[in-house]
Every structure is written in structure tokens, then in C-alpha cells.
Amino acid sequence: MTRDDLTEKLLDIKRERGWTWAHICEAIGGMSPVLITAACLGDMRLPKAQCARAKELFALSDAEERLLHEPPLRGRSTAMPPTDPLIYRFYELVMVYGATWKELIQEEFGDGIMSAIDFDFTMERQPDPKGDRVRIAMSGKFLPYRYYGAQQGTPELGYRED
């Protein structure tokens, strides 16, 4: 059994019962709906407590419960470049604004990256008379490049010397 087999099974159950993601995320609970949905789609791991509730909700076997708890081989559910228009728009944002984000983040924080691992994401509807908007907020820890000395153990140089 692969993780793809499990994802197809979960989606089949969701469809047959007529469930929504809101229903599934509330039933599993205790965690961001983004992460629970991503785990059902095979892109995230569920913690143990959540696995137990998913097992009950979907009537899974022990092995299926364990599979939900394994860190999956991420990034396989979305072809790149994305063919689906909704997903592509995010890809386009990276392509059009990526260089700009780099300039502005590094001017503010110094040399480093925004973590995609220690990362939080929320999505909500923002009512607007001209047409409602998708409002997304992300927050990722800034990770500065470390400038270690040649000898291990040497105190690292401060990375914000400027």
C-alpha cells in the first residue's frame, strides 16, 4: 500500500459520505485545517492523536493509521509548473514577485530565508463589495545564513553586522 492508495481511499470516503473538509478537520481537530487537509492529501504527516481520530472517522486499519503518521515524500500531488489555474496563480506570483521579495526581505532581515518548515498559513474570506477576496496570511521564521569560522567550535560571526 502506498500513500497515494490511501489518499484515493480517503477521498472516496469523503465523496461517498458527502463530507466537507470543514467536517473532517473538525472531527480530527486540534490542529490547523490546512495541515489536516494536507495530510489527507498525502503532503503532511498527522500527529499521533490526530491519527487515532482519523482512524476512527475513516475506519482505517492499523497500518493505514501508521502510514498517516509517516512523513510523506512531499510535493508529489502538484505537477510543476502547475497545470491547474488556481494553483498556477501562486506559481505565477513567485515567478513575477520572487526577485522583489528577495530584495525586500533581505533588506529588512539580512541574508537568509523565510522558513517553509517553521511556517504557518491561514486563509479566510474577506468580504468586499467589488467581489469577495481570498485573504492569505503566512508567517515563517527568518533563518539567517550562518557564517561559521574555519575551525569548528569557533564562535560564529554575528550575521547582522551591518
* Contacts of a copy of itself in 133-152 (CB under 8 A): 133-150, 152
130 φ/ψ sector (left φ>0, alpha ψ -120 to 50, else beta): alpha
Q: What is the spatial distance between Cα 73 and Cα 137, in angstroms, rounded to a whole number? A: 25
Q: What is the spatial distance between Cα 122 and Cα 67, in angstroms, rounded to a whole number? A: 26
**Number of residues counted as binding a copy of itself (CB under 8 A):** 112
Q: How far is CA 30 from the centre of its chain?
A: 16
**Contacting a copy of itself (CB under 8 A), which of 27, 53, 57, 109?**
109
33: enclosing H helix or E strand = helix 33-40
Regarding 77 and contact with a copy of itself (CB under 8 A), the answer is yes
* Interaction pattern, residues 42-71, with a copy of itself; x per rule: CB under 8 A: -xxx-xxx------------xx--xx-xxx
Question: Which positions are annotated as active-site residues?
Answer: 89, 92, 115
Site for a copy of itself in 78-97 (CB under 8 A): 78-97
